[in-house]
Amino acid sequence: MPKVVLAGSGIAGLFAALNCADAGWDVCVITKQSLEESSTNYAQGGIAGILDKTNSEGKEIHIKDTLDAGDGYCDEKVVREVVDEAGDRIRDLINIGVNFQTDVEGNYDLIKEGGHSQKIILHSKDSTGKEIETALLSKAINHPRIELLSNHLALDLILEDRNSVDKKIIGLWVYDIEKEVVETFSADAVILATGGGGQLFSRTTNPSVSTADGMAMANRAGAELRDMEFVQFHPTSAAVNSDRPFLISEAVRGFGGVLMTSIEFKDWKDQDDIKNPEEFSFTKKYSDLGSLATRDILARAIDQELNFSGEDYVLLITEHLDKIELQKRFPTINDFLLKYGITLGVDPIPVVPAAHYFVGGISVNRLGQVINKSNGNVINNLYAIGEVACTGMHGANRLASNSLLEAVVYSSRASLSLNENISKYNVETTNELPDWRADGLENLVEHYSLIDDLKTLKMTMTRDVGVVRSNKRLNRALRRVNLIEKEVNMVWLSSVPTRSLIELRNMVQISLIIINSALNRIKNIGLHYNEDNFNH
Ligand code: FAD
Ligand code: SIN
């Protein structure tokens, strides 16, 4: 049987794994940590899409909202196709066993988030991602054709001929984290579904596995990366002393939550009518949509207000809302906040922006096939799906809840493309795969310098390549990250790989690409804002 190796076990990887396995492929899913650890598992708000295929008006609104959020930079054809396919793919998820919230009459409880002008988001309260991940995983674990390998980290793709302009993938090297060895995996096709790279920044909503490995690996194999300067910062991560920034879903603002500075909050509390908080919100200065404006606008607005006030956070106000309903609707957020003495529907929540989503990524065509940067053709046998890929759907800024949707649509397309051609792969191959270069490498003894490099990298990316950029900041970041790259490469060439070394190398590589892309984008658009650009 032909074999497809999939890197990543979030929504994109697992959905494709199930489709390919059903069509007769032997599927091996390798994943870096535990099977469920992924951004998917933490998704809160939901998945956007019109279920009723005949609802053309609704679809047109979804298209317009996506194009508007993308600031005129989306590939409209891609947007139209994804929005059109949304109903079918969401129904696939439902058939797999995903339970979306319904109302008392049994209809799906559709909600609204920032940038949306209609209620089209399906959710499972505030743990939509966990619901999806759990349903997909339980199906994949029980599938006879799917092998799932946790604690396996995809390190590099193996090309049939490294020197040829036409490229063909024949396998990949995988670091077994428990055994601490690099293994060689042969594959008739490889699908990268390794997610984004929020960990490049010191403040991120992403889990520790999101270190942009897939993008770095694909780039080393000759893939084109695009739109890398568009890093989305979510405006509302809880500014409490937690191990990892915790997301306060945009759906809380969709429910009526309002953003204010501490002074605005005091002014609002001092007047009699508590029903009109939005009138007091700084967000109105930045967009007519106020607290429900798109993320690019809100993250910048918060950044600016914090610069003015010198404070560390702004406040998300919910006390004017029905406390019981709010806590029922957002149980995960409520439980989290309670640990910090904050009660949803009572206390203001301190929030700040955090790196959340990579809009850019590996450039793919409409089947999820990876584009070769040297000639614009596809790299044979290589696909990229989900957050690791860039399809053009999100333009310069992603609309809320469009990521899970895009992931599931492109996952389906990539697997269909493989399944339709399965007979071509059904021939015995005798490729001798080269082993990983292990000779002469020494065990890494001193780790402190790498830890320092990682801290500096994250701090530099946050301060100088964050929500508001300038030429000075970007150039400083370039100088610093170039130095870190030299250090890390020296260690890399002489050391037995470890998980942290592999990740740091990838993070440095992708940081440099982001910085250079940001320097090259001389017009402000969507998520990219450089105060030295003439049109700011
Ligand atoms: P992921 O779900 O991130 O999965 C990546 C997988 O790859 C993981 O299993 C990881 O361990 C593995 N991996 C990484 N590197 C390697 C490697 N080198 N080798 C092997 N495996 C590797 N989007 C929405 O549409 N709606 C929402 O409500 C929403 N809420 C969000 C809330 C949070 C807190 C976060 C962080 C994101 C949210 N997003 C949301 C974005 C969305 O969740 C992600 O973009 C989407 O889940 C990405 O899916 P994926 O399968 O591409 O990647
Ligand atoms: C959220 O719940 O605010 C996140 C939604 C998303 O990233 O699309």
Model confidence at 446: pLDDT above 90: no
Write the CA distances from 115 to 128, 187, 281, 325, integer angstroms: 19, 41, 17, 23
- Are 273 and 190 members of one domain? no
Q: CATH no. for residue 281?
A: 3.90.700.10
Q: Which residue type sits at 536?
A: H
What is the reported pLDDT for 536? 61
Domain boundary among 320, 354, 388: 354
- Are 319 and 344 members of one domain? yes
The number of CA neighbours under 13 Å toward the Cβ of 13 is 34
Domain boundary among 354, 382, 406: 354
Distance between CA atoms of 299 and 353, rounded to whole angstroms?
6
pLDDT in tens, 56-97: 999 999 999 999 999 999 999 999 999 999 999 999 999 999
- Are 336 and 392 members of one domain? no
Which domain range does residue 480 map to?
442-520
Ligand nearest to the CA of 17: 1
pLDDT in tens, 338-351: 999 999 999 999 99
Contacts of 335 (CB under 8 A, 6+ apart): none
Q: Give the chain's mean pLDDT.
A: 96
- Asked if residue 481 is part of any domain, the answer here is yes
Q: CATH no. for residue 503?
A: 1.20.58.100
| Sequential DSSP letters for 184-220 | EEE-SEEEE-----GGGSSSBSS-TT-S-HHHHHHHH
Q: CATH no. for residue 135?
A: 3.50.50.60
Say which residue the tokens 């037995």 belong to: 496
Say which residue the tokens 């070394």 belong to: 501
Stated as kind and residue range, the H or E segment containing 326 is: helix 323-329
What is the reported pLDDT for 13? 98
Say which residue the tokens 């993008």 belong to: 215
- Asked if residue 99 is part of any domain, the answer here is no
- Are 393 and 289 members of one domain? no
- Asked if residue 197 is part of any domain, the answer here is yes
Distance between CA atoms of 291 and 282, rounded to whole angstroms?
9
Question: Residue 429: which pLDDT band, with cuts at 50, 70 and 90?
Answer: low
DSSP state of 42: G
Terminal-to-terminal C-alpha distance of the chain: 56
Q: How far is the CA of 365 from the centre of ligand 2 (A)?
A: 25
Q: Are 368 and 383 in contact (CB under 8 A)?
A: yes
Question: Residue 440: which pLDDT band, with cuts at 50, 70 and 90?
Answer: confident
What is the reported pLDDT for 339? 97
Kindly report the length of the chain: 536
Pocket of ligand 2 (CB under 6 A): 44-45, 249-251, 400-401, 403
Category of 144 on φ-ψ map: left (φ > 0), alpha (ψ -120 to 50) or beta: alpha
Ligand nearest to the CA of 216: 1
Distance between CA atoms of 467 and 465, rounded to whole angstroms?
7
- Asked if residue 82 is part of any domain, the answer here is no
pLDDT in tens, 405-417: 999 999 999 999 9
With a 6 Å cutoff on the Cβ, whether 414 touches ligand 1 is no
Ligand 1 atom nearest the C-alpha of 356 is 36
What is the reported pLDDT for 210? 98
More confident residue, 245 or 58: 58
Strand, helix or coil at 376? coil
With a 6 Å cutoff on the Cβ, whether 193 touches ligand 1 is yes
* pLDDT-wise least confident of 134-138, 280-284, 432-436: 432-436
What is the reported pLDDT for 244? 85
With a 6 Å cutoff on the Cβ, whether 199 touches ligand 1 is no
121 has which bridge partners? 48, 111
51 phi, psi to nearest 5 deg: -75, -35
Q: Are 27 and 193 in contact (CB under 8 A)?
A: no
DSSP state of 45: S
- Are 406 and 509 members of one domain? no
- Are 310 and 387 members of one domain? no
With a 6 Å cutoff on the Cβ, whether 357 touches ligand 1 is yes
Say which residue the tokens 């899970």 belong to: 404
With a 6 Å cutoff on the Cβ, whether 404 touches ligand 1 is yes
Model confidence at 275: pLDDT above 80: no
Question: Residue 425: which pLDDT band, with cuts at 50, 70 and 90?
Answer: confident
110 phi, psi to nearest 5 deg: -85, 140
- Are 164 and 247 members of one domain? no
- Are 40 and 164 members of one domain? yes
What is the reported pLDDT for 249? 97
- Return the structure tokens found at 521: 């984008």
Model confidence at 426: pLDDT above 70: no
162 phi, psi to nearest 5 deg: -60, -30
Average pLDDT over residues 141-156: 98
What is the Cα Rg of the chain in Å?
23
Contacts of 269 (CB under 8 A, 6+ apart): none
- Are 25 and 152 members of one domain? yes
Distance between CA atoms of 115 and 75, rounded to whole angstroms?
18
What is the reported pLDDT for 235? 97
357 phi, psi to nearest 5 deg: -150, 140
What is the reported pLDDT for 243? 85
Distance between CA atoms of 237 and 249, rounded to whole angstroms?
8
- Label each residue of 377-396 as H, E or C: CEEEEEEECHHHEECCCCCC
- Return the structure tokens found at 113: 């988030």
What is the reported pLDDT for 427? 65
Q: How far is the CA of 71 from the centre of ligand 1 (A)?
A: 24
pLDDT in tens, 306-315: 999 999 999 9
Distance between CA atoms of 136 and 151, rounded to whole angstroms?
19
* Torsion, CA 158, CA 367, CA 58, CA 293, rounded to 10: 30
% of the chain exceeding 70 in pLDDT: 99
DSSP state of 97: T
Average pLDDT over residues 359-371: 98
- Asked if residue 33 is part of any domain, the answer here is yes
% of the chain exceeding 90 in pLDDT: 93
Model confidence at 356: pLDDT above 80: yes
What's the pTM value of the predicted model, to 2 decimals? 0.97
- Are 40 and 156 members of one domain? yes
* pLDDT-wise least confident of 95-99, 261-265, 395-399, 434-438: 434-438
- Return the structure tokens found at 317: 């106000």
Q: How far is CA 476 from the centre of its chain?
A: 26
Q: How many helices (H) and strands (E) does the chain have?
A: 15, 19
Q: How far is the CA of 357 from the centre of ligand 1 (A)?
A: 9
- Return the structure tokens found at 531: 């105060």
Ligand nearest to the CA of 124: 1
27 has which bridge partners? 4, 146
Number of domain units in the chain? 3
Atom 4 (ligand 1): residue with closest C-alpha? 10
- Are 373 and 342 members of one domain? no
Residues marked active site are found at 295
- Asked if residue 406 is part of any domain, the answer here is yes
Distance between CA atoms of 326 and 341, rounded to whole angstroms?
17
Distance between CA atoms of 268 and 275, rounded to whole angstroms?
10
CB-based burial label for 160 (10 Å; 0-12, 13-18, 19+): middle
| E strand residue ranges, 408-536 | none
Neighbours of 294 (CB within 10 A): 27
- Asked if residue 56 is part of any domain, the answer here is no
- Asked if residue 466 is part of any domain, the answer here is yes
- Are 315 and 461 members of one domain? no
pLDDT in tens, 194-220: 999 999 999 999 999 999 999 999 999
Distance between CA atoms of 497 and 502, rounded to whole angstroms?
6
What is the reported pLDDT for 5? 98
Distance between CA atoms of 325 and 197, rounded to whole angstroms?
35
Model confidence at 147: pLDDT above 80: yes
* pLDDT-wise least confident of 70-74, 209-213, 507-511, 531-535: 531-535
Domain boundary among 354, 383, 400: 354
Q: Are 410 and 244 in contact (CB under 8 A)?
A: no
Of 44, 253, 295, best ligand 2 pocket probe by most atoms within 8 Å of the beta carbon: 44
Ligand 1 atom nearest the C-alpha of 388 is 52
Q: Are 188 and 168 in contact (CB under 8 A)?
A: no
